[in-house]
């Protein structure tokens, strides 16, 4: 019977259990505890593991099987999205407002909060960004307002997407389209979407066995 492994804050950053020990229910839960230090986060991402937990919970570490991914060449750029991009109604930048993007991703329509993007998570990913390990894409409207974006972590040849937001039609899709272009230019072969959703599937994501996903991570780190 599989049992959840607990990490102590002073455990080595790479002291994660083997991925095959992840629980079947809840699916993909691998470990709990530890901390969100840059060293532990980078060790986690390099192994196909990411943190996801709610306020009041210990840090929980996940590695689902299969993994939802997007190959840049398989990105579905609809005709309407292509028209929006050509129209020039949006301006896209990278790494110009990382903290604002993370804060916006933590918000939901109506003023609700995305509970898993805790203050601790915001601080941890801002630190990764300061170290050049996390990146953001920002989408601005013609009035100069931030209306969409996404952020994530690069690990080898994989961009591990964390979250995206949209305050205007197609804004998050425009951010993803720019990320896809940049990944293709930089030799990033895979975008990690972590978990499936109808929205991501409509953009071309698909499931990939965890073993194959980890193989992509390892191939980019050698």
Per-residue HEC secondary structure of 5-18 comes to: EEECCCCCCCCCCC
- Tell me the C-alpha to C-alpha distance, in Å, between residue 172 and each of 90, 112, 199, 210: 11, 19, 11, 26
Mean pLDDT by 10 residues, the chain (222 residues): 90 97 96 97 98 93 98 96 96 98 83 71 98 98 98 96 96 98 95 95 97 90 48
Note the pTM of the prediction, 2 decimals.
Answer: 0.93
Alpha helices in 88-168 (DSSP H): 98-105, 119-130
pLDDT of residue 2: 84
Beta strands 60-62 and 50-51: pairing type? antiparallel
- Tell me the C-alpha to C-alpha distance, in Å, between residue 210 and each of 63, 85, 133, 194: 8, 33, 23, 10
Q: Give start-end residues of each CATH 3.40.630.70 domain in the chain.
A: 68-219
Domain 68-219 is of which CATH architecture? 3-Layer(aba) Sandwich (3.40)
- Tell me the C-alpha to C-alpha distance, in Å, between residue 194 and each of 63, 131, 191, 208, 209: 8, 23, 9, 10, 12
Segment holding 50, helix H or strand E: strand 50-51
Supply the CATH classification number for the domain 5-65: 3.30.70.3550
pLDDT of residue 220: 65
Torsion of CA 52, 105, 155, 198, to 10 degrees: 80
Compute the distance between CA of residue 108 and CA of residue 97 in angstroms, rounded to an integer. 19
Compute the distance between CA of residue 70 and CA of residue 51 in angstroms, rounded to an integer. 20
Q: Give start-end residues of each CATH 3.30.70.3550 domain in the chain.
A: 5-65
Query: Contact 143/80 with Cβ under 8 angstroms?
Result: no
Query: Contact 214/158 with Cβ under 8 angstroms?
Result: no
Beta strands 5-7 and 29-33: pairing type? parallel
């Amino acid at each position: 019977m599989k049992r959840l492994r607990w990490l102590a804050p002073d455990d080595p950053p790479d002291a994660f259990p083997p991925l095959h020990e992840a629980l079947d229910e809840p699916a993909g839960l691998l470990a709990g505890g530890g901390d969100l230090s840059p060293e532990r986060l980078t060790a986690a991402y390099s192994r196909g593991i990411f943190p996801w937990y709610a306020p009041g919970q210990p840090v929980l570490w996940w590695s689902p099987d299969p993994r939802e991914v997007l190959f840049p060449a398989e990105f579905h750029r609809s005709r309407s999205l292509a028209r929006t991009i050509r129209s020039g109604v949006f301006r896209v930048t990278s790494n110009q407002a990382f903290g604002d993007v993370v804060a916006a991703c933590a918000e939901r329509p109506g003023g609700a909060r995305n509970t898993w993007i805790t203050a601790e998570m915001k601080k941890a990913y801002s630190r990764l960004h300061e170290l050049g390990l996390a990146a953001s894409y920002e989408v601005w409207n013609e009035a100069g307002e931030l209306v969409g974006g996404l952020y994530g972590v690069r690990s080898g040849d994989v961009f591990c997407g964390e979250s995206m937001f949209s305050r205007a039609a197609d804004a998050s899709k425009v951010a993803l389209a720019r990320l896809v272009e940049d990944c293709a230019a930089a030799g990033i072969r895979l975008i990690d979407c972590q978990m499936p959703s109808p929205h991501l599937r409509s953009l071309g994501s698909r499931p990939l066995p965890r073993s194959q996903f980890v193989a992509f991570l390892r191939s980019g780190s050698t």
